[in-house]
Amino acid sequence: MKIISYNVNGIRAAINKGFLEWLEQTGPDVICLQEIKAQKDQFDVTAFEKIGYSYHYWFSAQKKGYSGVAILSKIAPDHVEYGTGIDYMDNEGRNLRVDINGVSIMSMYLPSGTNVDRINFKLKYMEDFQKYADNLRKELPNLIVCGDYNICHEAIDIHDPVRNKNVSGFLPVEREWIGNFIKSGFIDSFRHFNKEPHNYSWWSYRANSRAKNKGWRLDYAMVSESLQEKLKRAVILSEAKHSDHCPILVELKN
């Protein structure tokens, strides 16, 4: 099973940049999207069905043009779960899950900390999501949480760790949380296969950052330890350029 996660920074904008053609050519079994920034009735969802994604699920924020997640699948899920049941998370459309053949795949868009209020919101979300994931894995042990975590874990995951040490996305409290999240029973699938520096999934639109590879690794496919033997590969697909993020891929053995 090939699973891709992609913060598209607006599904309509990504479609205008060739996202559909890229998706058809790449052909993952499941793709998790974040920051779709649209309601389902604002674009042609049947375009995805035409390229093989018969099963598509959209969980938009209440606020139009903001946040939102989606999952597209070629395989019929056994169950679809919209949100977490935690109102303040679900109002912003940040979590969506499908269960397929004993594997649960979540698309998650963790908040960014653009100001003090949003940092506090992010920290609360992180704390509550950890508890939610702990409980969820008691019922669904084979869990994969894909998405934009808006956190770089280690210095290797950011182009300038010294200057960014006090910037949200690389704050000590955020880095500690994602480290503890992994220790709670997850595998950072990309780092499981690749320990090399200079591998990023987001670049600012400013100062030609992407061409200079001055980026941050904010996107993860966190895989439950119970699936470790199933891991086949995990890569960053940096050639895809429909967003300020690029997609990441994790593949499981049959």
Query: What pLDDT is stored for residue 144 in this prediction?
Result: 99
Query: What pLDDT is stored for residue 254 in this prediction?
Result: 85
**Domains parsed from the chain with CATH numbers:** 2-252 (3.60.10.10)
Q: Between the CA of residue 179 and those of 37, 145, 173, 231, what are the distances in Å?
A: 29, 15, 10, 20
Q: What is the Cα–Cα distance from 90 to 227, expressed in whole angstroms?
A: 27
Amino acid at 43: F
Long-range CB contacts (within 8 A, 24+) of 86-92? 86/128, 86/132, 88/121, 88/124, 88/125, 89/125, 89/128, 89/129, 91/61, 91/62, 92/61, 92/62, 92/63, 92/66, 92/67
Neighbouring residues of 191: CB distance < 8 A, sequence distance ≥ 6: none
Query: What pLDDT is stored for residue 158 in this prediction?
Result: 98
Active site (annotated) includes residue 148: yes
CB 3 within 8 A of CB 144: yes
Q: Which two tokens stand for residue 128?
A: 């509550």
Query: What pLDDT is stored for residue 73 in this prediction?
Result: 98
Q: What is the Cα–Cα distance from 14 to 6, expressed in whole angstroms?
A: 11
Q: Which residue among the candidates 44, 87, 117, 148 is catalytic per the annotation?
A: 148
Query: What pLDDT is stored for residue 234 in this prediction?
Result: 98
CB 89 within 8 A of CB 97: no
Q: Which two tokens stand for residue 36?
A: 């779709």
CB 227 within 8 A of CB 254: no
| Tens-level pLDDT at each residue, the chain (254 residues) | 999 999 999 999 999 999 999 999 999 999 999 999 999 999 999 999 999 999 999 999 999 999 999 999 999 999 999 999 999 999 999 999 999 999 999 999 999 999 999 999 999 999 999 999 999 999 999 999 999 999 999 999 999 999 999 999 999 999 999 999 999 999 999 999 999 999 999 999 999 999 999 999 999 999 999 999 999 999 999 999 999 999 999 999 98
Q: What is the Cα–Cα distance from 203 to 217, expressed in whole angstroms?
A: 9
Q: Which two tokens stand for residue 174?
A: 């955020």
| Cα torsion angle, 70, 245, 116, 127, sign | positive
* SS3 at position 193: helix
Long-range CB contacts (within 8 A, 24+) of 211-217? 213/159, 214/159, 214/160, 215/158, 215/159, 216/152, 216/157, 216/158, 216/159, 216/169, 216/170, 217/152, 217/153, 217/157, 217/158, 217/190
Q: What is the Cα–Cα distance from 128 to 111, expressed in whole angstroms?
A: 13
